[in-house]
Structure 1
Amino acid sequence: MLKCIAIMGLLIIGAYLIVQGVGCKKAIQEGKHRLEEYGAKNIELCYGNMRYVDRGDGDVILSVHGIFGGYDQAYDTCKDFASDYRILAPSRFGYPGSDIKGAGTPSEQAEAYVELLDRLGINQVYVLSTSAGGSVAIRFALDYPERTKGLILYCSAMPLTEKPEKYSEYAGPPEFLCNNYAMFLMRPVFGPVMGMDPSTIYSMMPVSERKAGVVLDAAVTNPDMARNYESYDIENLKVPVLILHAKDDKLASYESAVNASARFPKYIFVSFEDGGHLMAGHEAEVHKAVTDFVQQNGLTERK
C-alpha cells in the first residue's frame, strides 16, 4: 500500500512538473515576443552595446530599472508619464541587449548613461529609479549633478544611515535559481515572500536573457552602498529628491526609506499605505506626485 502511494505521489509530481514545463516554455515564447513589441533601439557605446526605449516629448525621465528588469521594465514603470514626458528607458548592464562595462559598478553604469545622453544630445534628465536601480540612480545624481534635474526614488533601494560593520557580499537570488524554469516554479511564493502577484513572472520572462544582470546586481550593484559607504555623500547631494514608497513594501523596507530620507538635503516624501513593491493601484497618485515635482523644479533645462 505504501509503495503504491509513493508511486502515485511521484506520478503526480512528475505530471505537475511536466505541465509547468509546458507553461514555462509558452511564457518564454510570449516574453520574447513581448520584448520585440517595445521597438527598442540599439546603440554602440565605447565599451559595447546598450539597448533602450525612447518615447515621448518634453522633459526627459531616465528610468533606472530594478532586478530582473530590462528596457521593458524601465519603460513600463514610466509608461503612464509618456504622454507628458520623454521616457528614456535603457537596459542596465547584463540585461536584455546591454553589455557590461568593466566590473559593472554603479559608477560605471552612471558613466554609460552619460555617454548615452551625450550620443542622444540630451543635456539634463530627471532620474527615476526602482528597487535595485537605486544605487545607480543615486550614484548618477552624486557624480553628475549638472546633468540631473531631480532624483525620483520609486520604492527604491536607499542609502544606509551609518556605515555597517558587516554586510552581505552577495545580495540577491542564488545564481542557480536565475533560470526560466526555476523562477517559473517559484511564482506561487511571489505573494507571501515579495508581495507581488504571481503573474509578475510573465514580465520577467525570459529570465535567461536577464541572468547576467541579476547576478551582477546581487554581487556588485546591491551591496555597493554598504561596501562603499563613504563615497555616497548623500548630505551634500545637490539635486532635489522625490521619494515614493509603500508601507507594505516587502522588498525595500519602508522604515529604512524613512530613516534614510533625513540624509537628503532637499526632499519630498510621499508614502502609500499599501500597493507593495510596485505600488499597485496608485498610478494616478504617483503621476501627480511626479508632475508636481517636475513643475516645482521648472519645465525647462537649467543652464
Structure 2
Amino acid sequence: MRKLCLFFLLLVPSFTNAQQAQSLSITLENVDYPFPVKFLPLNIEGQDLRMAYMDIKPDNPNGKVLMLFHGKNFGGYYWTNVIKALSAKGYRVLVPDQIGFGKSSKPFINYSFHRLAALNKQLLDSLGIQKAVLMGHSMGGMLASRFALLYPERTAQLILENPIGLEDYRRFVPNASPEAMYQAELKTTPESVKRYYQTSYFVKWKPEYDELVRIASGVNGSSEFPRYAKVSALTAQMIYEQPVVYEFPLLKVPVLLLIGTQDKTIVGKARLKPEDQTKYGLYNQLGKETASKIPGSVLIEFSNAGHIPHLEIPEEFLRALDQNIK
C-alpha cells in the first residue's frame, strides 16, 4: 500500500477518489509523519505496548523544550506548522501520540488522564528532560492541565489551545454506557466526521481540511477497526467522567489560553437535543470564564477562528504564541 505523505499537510488542496477511499491501519503505519517517529516501550496491565513520539531538535537550540499534546480526533501529524515555527525559534519540540491514539498502541486498558500524564512524565524521564512548556489542544488541553496539576515542578508553562473540558459535560450531556458509545463509534463514516467538523470546528470549510477527515475516517476500512472504535469509546468515557474544570484554580504554573471564539465543540454533542446544543460549547464565553478561574492567566481570543486556530489562522496564532511563550 502506497505511503501517504503528510509533510505537505494543508498544502495539498485535494485528493483523488482513489486516495480518499484508501483505508488506513489503526496505528497509521501507512501515514507518514512530518518528522522521524520513535517509540517508547511500555508495559501496561500486562501488555507490551509502545508510545510513538517525534523529538525534533533545533539547529540553534535555546535550551528550552516544548511538548505538544494532540486532541482526541488527531495525532502528531497536525502539528507540522507549529513544530516548524517553534524549532526555528530554537525550541526542542516533543510530540507524543498518546497511548490509544495515532501511531501508538491501541490497548484495552483503563484510560485515565492521571495515567496518560504519568506516561508523558516517563517519556520526559527517558529523554533526560527535566522541565518543559506544555501545549495542549482540545483533549490535549485536559491532559496538559492534569499533567501541570500533578507535576508543576516539571511544567515551565501551560498553554491551552481551545481545550475541551472547560465545562462539566456530565451536568447536561446524558450519560451513555461504554457499549452504547462503542456502537456509536462503529457507525462513524467520512460523511459524519466531516459534518461534525464543519458544524463544530471551523468558521469556514476549506478543501485542505478534507485531509483531517480522511485520516480520522480512513481507519474505518481496517480489519481492526472494531478495536479502534472500542478504544475511541473508552477514551470518550475518560473525557466525560474525568473533568478537570473544577481544579483550574489550583494550577500553580503560568497559563496561556489561546481561544478561537467561534468554536462550538461539545463532548457528546450528538446526545443533546438540537435546542440544547446551542446552549453549551460557547467558547466566546468559556475562554473568559476559564481565565477568571486561573490566577495570573493570560487570555488571547481569536474572533475569526474555531476549534483549531493553529490550522485555521496559522500566522495570527503563531504570532500570538511567539509573543507569549515563556
Q: Is 1:221 aligned with 2:251?
A: no
3-state SS of the aligned residue for 2:189? helix
Q: Which residue number corresponds to residue 9 of structure 2? A: none
Match of 2:313 in 1: 282
The separation in 2 between residues aligned to 1:222 and 1:82, in whole angstroms, is 34
2:22 corresponds in structure 1 to 26
Report matched runs for 1:193-204 at 5 Å.
Answer: 193-196=199-202, 197=205, 199=210, 200-204=212-216
Counterparts of 1:101 and 1:86, CA distance in 2: 32
For residues 275-298 of structure 1, give each alpha carbon's deviation from its aligned partner in whole angstroms, at most 9, with x where no partner exists. 21112442222222222223xx4x
Aligned residues: 269
User: Could you tell me which amino acid in structure 2 is paired with residue 51 of structure 1?
Assistant: A
Distance 1:151 1:132, change over 3 A: same
Per-residue CA distance 1:18-67 (angstroms, 9 max, x = gap): xx9956433648x7543356421111134331011111334211111111
Query: What residue number does 2:290 align with?
Result: 260
Distance 1:103 1:169, change over 3 A: farther
Deviation at 1:133, TM superposition (A): 1.7
How far off its partner does 1:88 sit?
0.8
Aligned-partner residue type, residue 218 of structure 2: P
TM-score, scaled to structure 2? 0.71
Instruction: Tell me the distance in 2 between the aligned counterparts of 1:55 and 1:213.
Output: 28
Q: Deviations over 1:71-124 (max 9, x none)?
A: 323556544323222211111121133245951100100000000000011111
Residue of structure 2 equivalent to 1:301 = none
RMSD: 3.3
Question: TM-score, normalization: structure 1?
Answer: 0.76
Between 61-70 and 277-286, the greater mean CA deviation after superposition = 277-286
Which secondary structure does the structure 2 equivalent of 1:215 belong to?
A: helix
- Percent identity among equivalent residues? 22
1:70 maps to which residue?
Answer: 75
Q: What per-residue deviation string (whole Å, max 9, x for no partner) do you get for residues 205-238 of structure 1?
A: 5335754553232111343117xx6xx5322211
Larger radius of gyration: 1
Amino acid at match of 2:99: F
CA pair 167-77 structure 1, distance change in 2 beyond 3 A? farther
Deviation at 1:68, TM superposition (A): 1.7
1: CA distance, partners of 2:79 / 2:176: 23
- Secondary structure at the aligned position of 1:245 is classed as strand
Structure 2 distance, partners of 1:53, 1:121, is: 15
1:177-200 CA deviation, whole Å, 9 max, x = no partner?
546x94313255245422443513
SS at match of 1:114: helix
Tell me, yes or no, if the aligned pair for 1:68 and 1:213 is still in contact at 8 Å: no
User: 5+ residue gaps in structure 1?
Assistant: 1-19, 298-303
Read off the aligned partner of 2:317 and give its amino acid letter: V
SS of structure 1 residue aligned to 2:256: strand
Q: Secondary structure at the match of 2:243?
A: helix
Task: Give the structure 2 partner of residue 133 of structure 1.
Answer: 140
Q: Does residue 48 of structure 2 align to residue 41 of structure 1?
A: no
**What is the aligned partner in structure 2 of residue 150 from structure 1?**
157
Alpha-carbon distance between aligned partners in 2 of 1:39 and 1:223, rounded to the nearest angstrom: 34
Tell me which residue corresponds to 1:11. Answer: none
